[in-house]
Structure 1
Amino acid sequence: MTGNTIFITGATSGIGRGLAEAFHKLGNQVVIAGRRRALLDEVTAANPGMAAVELNIDDPASIAAAAQHLITEFPALNVLINNAGIMPFDNASAEMDDAQAQRVITTNLLGPIRMTSALIERLKQQPQATVINNTSVLAFVPLATTAVYSATKAALHSYTLSQRFMLRDTGVRVREIAPPWVNTDLIKKGDDPRAMPLDAFIEQTMAVLATDADEALVEGVKAMRDNPGSGEHALVNGFNQALVDNPIPH
């Protein structure tokens, strides 16, 4: 939890910024990434000593450039937190917006795969290193009105399991954060009482990250993480019907 050099994608707001500031307060060298320089400057100005890199996680060339910058300027880099993601609503019962679907898959799934690939050899060279993939409770119980998003998070969870196994004999540990609905602007920041307050989520997540758990799950996620196998259809249908009856504002 201390003494690390940590790179966090999608860190100009929400969970990414919350994690960046929490790790920064513990004395780590934190490097944040995002598309917009103005927002990066705002976060680093509020947290003296924090650094920033412009990154378009959808663009392989931008990922390669960011990785080269990190390897050159921050040779002690030993933690990668794949946090960047987007969550547009969709309708799997109708014609899908193909461009939107491709962007969600590129950002949420290919982004972490490419970012880790670009840095993995450097991470292997460190005495101890960690990759943290930010998935979602929706990796286990999909939200039907964000079908593609939920599918990308399920895929990233699966990829994380494989990645953890493949790195088992190295010094690189692979961990997963699977947030519940958190009150950020990922969907719409509206202080809905069903959304977990961001500060509480960060506090609880940091507490779990300080343990040896591979999955950093806050208490409210655990029941859905234990998605009951062949009984999942009733769970998924009940979860989604509850949100039909009391919709998420967007």
Structure 2
Amino acid sequence: MDVRGKIALVTGGSDGIGREIALQLQGAGAEVIVTGRSAAKLQAMASLGFGTIAGDLSTTEGVDAAVDGVAGKSLAVLVNNAGVGSDYELDRPDTLDSAAHCIRTNLDAPIALCTRLLPILRAQPEAAIVNVTSGLAIAPRAGGSIYCATKAGLRSYTQAIRHLLKDSNVRVIEALPPVVETNMTAGRSGKKMSAADCAAEIVHGIRTGKSEVNAGMVKILQLVHSVSPALARRIMIRF
């Protein structure tokens, strides 16, 4: 897809991977609108020429704001990037609220935005839905059960709607990042991919028409999984 002159919506686009995707799409000539929860970060994006929409996508009001924010615009690219972690622990019922917040943000919101914005995307000569999942959608780790479940659910949803839209003008792309240097992973040790490098692979996938973008080390995980899903699960469950 030639993104020059096209309108793109990037959720969670004021920070982390989303911010880098927004910057790189803008650099390639797209008109980019971002959603976010931080007024200060959205103001900083506005100063760089981005359209901004304030809202928490874990709420109905936040999803409504995103939809209303692109109403009447020729939206051609939807990037469902916004995501949060969860403090859920199996033996602590008091963490179920955190689990529900993660599910609403990571899974419910992308489904709602795909559904509600599809008529606009279909009205364009060419369009793309980009759902950002995770390498953990392939094989989960025990310490992030709810996050992994949301990303696995979004992966399954993405594959299903790709088939449903295969004869349409809307390409459906799944982007699977590894551990990336963002605020969400600030407390984790080990090797991390930069947000800019991860975004570069995702934007390249959009521009070259890929259906799946395995960023960084996820390429290796996919290879292991293709040979032995059980081995991939054994490796990642303790990751």
TM-score, with length taken from structure 1: 0.87
Q: Does 1:216 align with 2:213?
A: yes
Aligned match for 1:100, one of 94, 98, 102: 98
Between the aligned partners of 1:210 and 1:126, the Cα distance in structure 2 is 16
Q: Deviations over 1:145-189 (max 9, x none)?
A: 000100110000000011111112221111111000001112226
- CA-CA distance at 1:108 after TM superposition: 0.5
Which residue of structure 1 aligns with residue 199 of structure 2? 202
Matches within 5 A, 1:73-112: 75-92=73-90, 94-96=91-93, 97-112=95-110
Q: Does 1:179 align with 2:181?
A: no
Moved over 6 A (4+): none
- CA-CA distance at 1:205 after TM superposition: 2.9
Which residue of structure 2 aligns with residue 128 of structure 1? 126
Between the aligned partners of 2:180 and 2:225, the Cα distance in structure 1 is 24
Percent identity between matched residues is: 29
- CA-CA distance at 1:69 after TM superposition: 2.9
Which residue of structure 1 aligns with residue 28 of structure 2? 26
- CA-CA distance at 1:227 after TM superposition: 5.3
Which residue of structure 2 aligns with residue 54 of structure 1? 54
Deviates more, 1:123-132 or 1:59-68: 59-68
Distance 1:68 1:180, change over 3 A: same
- CA-CA distance at 1:213 after TM superposition: 1.5
Between the aligned partners of 1:61 and 1:90, the Cα distance in structure 2 is 24
Between the aligned partners of 1:4 and 1:204, the Cα distance in structure 2 is 19
Could you tell me whether the CA contact under 8 Å between 1:87 and 1:187 is conserved in 2? no
Which residue of structure 2 aligns with residue 151 of structure 1? 149
Between the aligned partners of 1:210 and 1:28, the Cα distance in structure 2 is 11
Which residues of structure 1 form unaligned runs of 5+? 244-250
Q: Deviations over 1:113-145 (max 9, x none)?
A: 011122111111111111100000000011210
Aligned residues: CA RMSD: 2.0
- CA-CA distance at 1:193 after TM superposition: 4.5
TM-score, with length taken from structure 2: 0.90
Distance 1:234 1:216, change over 3 A: closer
Between the aligned partners of 2:194 and 2:69, the Cα distance in structure 1 is 34
Which residues of structure 2 form unaligned runs of 5+? none
Aligned match for 1:9, one of 6, 11, 17: 11
Could you tell me whether the CA contact under 8 Å between 1:11 and 1:20 is conserved in 2? yes
Between the aligned partners of 2:14 and 2:216, the Cα distance in structure 1 is 26
Could you tell me whether the CA contact under 8 Å between 2:193 and 2:216 is conserved in 1? no
Between the aligned partners of 1:95 and 1:115, the Cα distance in structure 2 is 31
Q: Tell me the SS of whatever aligns to 1:147.
A: helix
Count of matched residue positions in the alignment of Structure 1 and Structure 2: 236
Q: Deviations over 1:25-73 (max 9, x none)?
A: 112100001122222001221x1x211011221122332233123113x
